Amino acid sequence: MSYQILLCSEQLSSIGKHVQHFFKADCVASASELMSMAEAADYRAVVVDCASIQYSLMECGGACLALGKRLDLPVIFIAQQYSLQDKLEAYQKGCDDIIDPSTSNDEACARITKSIFHRIANEQLNHRLLQATETARTAMVDNSDLGANIQFLLAAHESDNLDQLGQQLFSTLERYGLKCSLQMRSSLGIKNMEPHGMSKELESQLLYQLKDTDRYIDFGVRTICNYDRVSLLIKNMPIDDPEKYGAIKDNTFYLLQGVNARIHSLEDRHTLVEERECLRKLSKDINAVMSSVKDRYQQVMSGIMDEVETATSMLQNRVPHLALTERDEVFIDGVVERLITSTHTVFNEGLKVDEIFMRLEVSLEASIQA
The number of CA neighbours under 13 Å toward the Cβ of 178 is 30
- The residue among 302, 300, 306, 308 whose CA lies nearest residue 337 is 308
pLDDT at 204: 92
Taking residue 199's Cβ as centre, other Cβ atoms within 10 Å add up to 16
Alpha helix stretches (DSSP H) within the chain: 14-23, 31-38, 57-71, 84-92, 105-142, 145-156, 162-175, 201-209, 242-318, 326-369
User: Taking a C-beta distance cutoff of 8 angstroms, is the pair 156, 262 a contact?
Assistant: yes
**pLDDT, mean of residues 343-360:** 68
Chain segment 240-255, per-residue pLDDT in tens: 988 889 888 988 998 9
User: At residue 69, does pLDDT exceed 70?
Assistant: yes
pLDDT at 12: 86
What single DSSP character describes residue 178? -
pLDDT at 206: 92
User: At residue 140, does pLDDT exceed 90?
Assistant: no
User: At residue 229, does pLDDT exceed 90?
Assistant: yes
Cα–Cα distances in angstroms (integers) from residue 199 to residues 26, 47, 121, 183, 196, in the given order: 28, 20, 12, 9, 9
pLDDT at 290: 72
User: Taking a C-beta distance cutoff of 8 angstroms, is the pair 340, 308 a contact?
Assistant: yes
**pLDDT, mean of residues 309-337:** 74
Chain segment 289-314, per-residue pLDDT in tens: 777 777 777 777 777 777 777 777 77
Q: Is 97 helix (H, G, I), strand (E, B) or coil?
A: strand
- The residue among 174, 180, 268 whose CA lies nearest residue 230 is 180
pLDDT band of 184, cuts 50, 70, 90:
very high
pLDDT band of 364, cuts 50, 70, 90:
low
Chain segment 70-115, per-residue pLDDT in tens: 888 899 988 887 788 888 888 888 889 999 888 999 999 999 999 8
* CA distance linking residue 65 with residue 74, whole number of Å: 9
**pLDDT, mean of residues 139-152:** 67
Amino acid at 342: S
Q: What is the pTM of this model?
A: 0.61
- The residue among 361, 88, 296 whose CA lies nearest residue 202 is 88
- The pair phi, psi for residue 9, each rounded to 5°, is -170, 140
Amino acid at 76: I
pLDDT at 57: 67
pLDDT at 138: 52
Amino acid at 64: C
Listed range (85-94, 128-137, 267-276) with the worst mean pLDDT:
128-137
In whole angstroms, how large is the CA radius of gyration of the chain?
Answer: 38
User: Taking a C-beta distance cutoff of 8 angstroms, is the pair 200, 235 a contact?
Assistant: no
The number of CA neighbours under 13 Å toward the Cβ of 21 is 9
- The β-bridge partners of 26 are 6
pLDDT band of 235, cuts 50, 70, 90:
very high
pLDDT band of 142, cuts 50, 70, 90:
very low
Chain segment 4-51, per-residue pLDDT in tens: 888 888 888 889 889 888 988 888 887 777 777 877 778 888 888 888
Q: What is the spatial order of strands in the sheet that 45-49 belongs to? A: 26-28, 5-8, 45-49, 75-78, 95-99
One-character DSSP codes across 198-259: ---HHHHHHHHHTTTS-SEEEETTEEEEEETTEEEEES---TT-HHHHHHHHHHHHHHHHHH
